[in-house]
Amino acid sequence: MFLFGKKLELPGPSDALPGRTEPMPIQGRHLVLGTEMRPPFPAGQRQVMFGMGCFWGAEQRCWELPGVHTTAVGYAGGLTPNPTYEEVCSGLTGHAEVVLLVFDPQQLPFSACLDTFWNQHDPTAGMRQGVDIGTQYRSVIYTDGEDYLHMAQDSRAEQQRRLEARGGGQITTEIRMAPPFYYAEDYHQQYIARRT
């Protein structure tokens, strides 16, 4: 199904673009936090990937949280290895635009990360956020452990109860263990900071 030329269904393995073996080259240091955006990360840090529509504004909301070590934007949840932005926008990779959030759980509880996630986008919108339409804009949570997976699922159920009490729609957020994360092009990293 297409809406204004945008693909709204995820591709199957035979339809997905082939991608490439080489990862996207990026500068490496976070423009705001000054930390490394690639692993290895300090001991004790946890990771989650959030898809909340366009990753530019979503990343800023994440790096502003206290206890965040680093953030990076990229692509996850699809089939194409090391895709380009243009490939993701084609709808033929299956990837969502995501923010990788690396944080110290002693300073930033995962529940606070989830609160930010639920409050910063419409989790009922399906394959879109606002005027952005396409499979890459879907709502996702990809966790680094079973404990966070269950917390995210419980959080989704609680959010659904709240929505239903207000007459809201059905949450479409995909929640699962983290698939591979592919870094987006350097010009997307900390995009809001680059513009100021």
**Per-residue pLDDT tens for 129-161?**
999 999 999 999 999 999 999 999 999 999 999
d(CA 114, CA 7): 28
Which residues constitute the domain of residue 133? 63-196
Total domains in the chain come to 1
Reported pTM: 0.95
pLDDT at 16 over 70: yes
Residues recognised as catalytic: 54
Mean pLDDT score across all residues of the chain: 95
Provide, rounded to the nearest whole percent, the portion of the chain with pLDDT above 70: 97
The contacts of residue 191 (CB under 8 Å, 6+ apart) are 56, 59, 73
- The answer to whether position 57 is within a domain reads no
- The answer to whether position 69 is within a domain reads yes
Let me know: does 155 contact 38? Beta carbons within 8 Å. Answer: no
* Mean pLDDT, rounded, for 25-53: 97
- The answer to whether position 30 is within a domain reads no
d(CA 101, CA 63): 8
d(CA 98, CA 56): 9
- The answer to whether position 4 is within a domain reads no
- The answer to whether position 22 is within a domain reads no
The domain that holds 120 is classified in CATH as 3.30.1060.10
pLDDT at 5 over 80: no
Confidence of residue 2 (pLDDT cuts 50, 70, 90): very low
The contacts of residue 71 (CB under 8 Å, 6+ apart) are 30, 33, 37, 59, 62, 63, 99, 100, 101, 102, 190
- The answer to whether position 154 is within a domain reads yes
- The answer to whether position 19 is within a domain reads no
Helix (H) or strand (E) holding 58: helix 55-63
- The answer to whether position 170 is within a domain reads yes
76: its two tokens: 């996850």
